[in-house]
Structures are given as structure tokens and as C-alpha cells.
Amino acid sequence: MTLLRFGPDALHVSRFAVSPLAETLSELTRLRQTRAGVLAGRLDEDPFVRGLVDLVTATKYLPDFVAIPPGRDLADELAAMRRIGDAEARATLVEAHRFAWASDGLAWADVTGITGRAADFLAECWTRFVEPDWTRRRAIMERDIHHRAGVIAVSGWRHALDGMAPDVEWAGHDAIRFSTQTYPDRHIGSDGLTFVPHTGMSGRWICETPTRIAFVYPAKGALADHSLGDAGVARLLGLGRARVVAEVRMPATPSQLAAVLGVSLGTVSAHLAALRAADVVTARRSGRAVYYELTPVGEELARLVTRH
């Protein structure tokens, strides 16, 4: 198995962060697996892009130059990618190819400026597929981070890993099991480990530089099922309020709910006010934000409206 081993005090400085680049990679994988047609023209016109996409969406070991720890923003992350030279990039492509379950070789990588071309393509994917939906995606990721931070405050880091990804769990007092596959262990130093959620259906990976390591994982709530099981209860409650009840199974702010559900903040606020008056939801302040969560009555109602 593969372990992430923490040095002295490394866990105390570990943190959560959002990464536009990780989210772009997640979306690229989803598109390749479920909606390949939207990429078809781009892949057909550029052998480099086709080879890169085929490799990064079908390997257990991402090339290091696309697995960049989170920066200030996408431009910062892509700048870090561009600083990696061709020789280093080719070496990590060879390693990624060793662990690929589907690839036609690396002839496409026999070009100059590998990381610059990769960064240009990922910037294009961000603009086309991720940025228009970034508000909703970020709301999902921030809710996951808030949830896990609350678990850490009450129960410690060990329980913050619950449901993070299959096979991910504590191994002893100073290590996290990252995978059941046998890869080299990673040693977490004084910069700690950065946990990075993404909104994809699945997938986890390590991002690494000489001094920083990040662990990317699927956000809790990314697969939230907004379909409503008991149509009668949903009609009685009202479709809008029923969707809010289903979504607040994981605590959220009004603005996060508006982003995730695709409605106005005013609409969400009105639904929350009615649900709070009926003792279905309750509000609590966390810093400057107000989070809504289900009461015991709300939990019973949520089970009805989400039952299939």
C-alpha cells in the first residue's frame, strides 16, 4: 500500500484549499469518459492534445507537470507548470505511460515546449468548460471544506478522512493510507499536506513539488442527488423547498445553496425563512457566515423527499 507519512508537526500545519487546475483536470476526465463528443474537434486537430488527454485520463500516475499543488489562482498554477523543462516533462510522461491502461505511446510528446502547450490547452478547458460553472463548483467544494473543518474541530483529523475516497484511512498515528497499490510512500514535511476537493464523480491523486504535497479528492456532496423520491411530499412542500431540504442534508449558506441549485439568493432566502418557521431547518453562525442545517424534523422530511 502507499502511505502519506507525516513528519513532526506536519499535520498541525496541513490545510484545505481550492484549485482551479485540479478542477479542470477533474472536468477533463469527466468529459473524456462521458461526453467525448464535445472534445472531438479539438482532439482531431492536434495530435499533442489528443495524446495528452488520452494519457492523463487513463493512467494511475499523472504526469507531475499537470499535478501541480494549488496556487493563488489558475494563472499561478499554470505558471508553475510552464516553468518545468522538456527533459523533466518527458521523464514524467514516461512514468505516467508505465501506469496507463490505455495509451498509443508517446510519439505525440516529441515536441518543444511540452508544458507550455499543455498549459495553453488546460487554460482553454478552464475557459470553456469550468469557468462558466465555477460559482456552483466552488460552493460545493467550500461546503466540503467547511464540513471537514468542523469534524476536525470536534473529533480530530482522523475522522475528517471519513468518506474522502475509497481505501483512504489512517494507518497508525502518523500516516494516511492513500492507496492499496504499491507506490513509493510520500513524506509530508514542515509545509504540511494540502487537501484539495474537486467536484468530479470520482478520482484522487497526489500533486507534488520538492517542498509541497497536495492530496486531491472528490468533494462530499459533489454527487448530491437532487431528484425527489416521494412526489406527493415534494408537491405538498413545494418543489423549490423540497430541493432546499434535500440539499441542506449537508449544511450550507444561502449563497452556496443559490449557486448549487441555480436559483436567486432571494428565492433561497424565502424558502429558508419558511422552512425555519416550520422548524425544518435551523441557522448557526460560523465566523461571518450563517449556515443552515436540518433539525430532527427536517431530517425526517429529507428522508421522505429523497426516498426512491
Reported confidence tier of residue 224, pLDDT bands at 50, 70, 90 = very low
- pLDDT band, very low/low/confident/very high, at 225 (cuts 50, 70, 90): very low
Question: pLDDT higher for 53 or 289?
Answer: 53
More confident residue, 183 or 228: 183
Which of 48-62, 98-112, 203-217, 227-241 shows the lowest mean pLDDT across its residues? 227-241
Share of the chain above pLDDT 90, in %: 57
pLDDT band at 229 (very low <50, low <70, confident <90, very high): low
Helix or strand holding residue 281 (H, E): strand 281-286
Q: What percent of the chain has pLDDT over 70?
A: 95
- In the chain the domains, ranked by start, together with CATH numbers, are 2-18+134-218 (no CATH), 20-133 (no CATH), 231-305 (1.10.10.10)
Q: Facing residues of 169 across strands?
A: 177
Phi, psi (5° rounding) for residue 51?
-65, -40
CA angle 91, 19, 180 (to 5 degrees): 60
Cα dist. 153→147, 168, 216, 284 in Å?
10, 20, 21, 16
The DSSP annotation for 213-249 comes to EEEEEEPTTTT-----S-HHHHHHH-HHHHHHHHHTT
Q: 232 vs 89, which has greater pLDDT?
A: 89
* pLDDT confidence of residue 103: 75
Confidence at 124, pLDDT banded by 50, 70, 90: very high
Q: How confident is the model at residue 234 (pLDDT cuts 50, 70, 90)?
A: confident
- pLDDT for 163: 81
Residue 1 to residue 16: CA distance in whole angstroms: 24
pLDDT band of 167, cuts 50, 70, 90: confident
Residue-wise DSSP of 166-209: TT-EE-SSSEEEEESS----EEE-TT-EEEEEE-SSS--EEEE-
Q: What is the pLDDT of residues 253-294, one digit of tens each?
A: 999 899 888 889 999 999 999 999 999 999 999 888 899 999
Examine the pLDDT at 308 and tell me if it is beyond 80. Answer: no
- Specify the amino acid at residue 88: E
Residue 160 dihedral angles phi and psi, to the nearest 5°:
-70, -20
Long-range contacts of 222-230 (CB under 8 A, 24+ apart): 222/140, 222/144, 222/197, 222/198, 224/249, 224/250, 224/260, 225/306, 226/261, 227/308, 228/305, 228/306, 229/304, 229/305, 229/306, 229/307, 229/308, 230/304, 230/305, 230/307
Transcribe 35-92 into DSSP letters: -GGGGHHHHHH-HHHHHHHHHHTSBSS--TTTSPPP-SSHHHHHHHHHTS-HHHHHHH
Question: Residue 225: is it exposed, middle or buried by C-beta count within 10 angstroms (0-12/13-18/19+)?
Answer: exposed
> Could you tell me how many residues make up the chain?
308
Query: CA-CA distance, 157 to 232, in Å (whole number)?
Result: 41
What's the rounded Cα separation, in Å, for the pair 71 and 56? Answer: 21
Phi, psi (rounded to 5 degrees) for 201:
-70, -30
Whole-number average pLDDT of the chain: 89
Could you read off the pLDDT of 81-90 as tens digits, one per residue?
A: 999 999 999 9
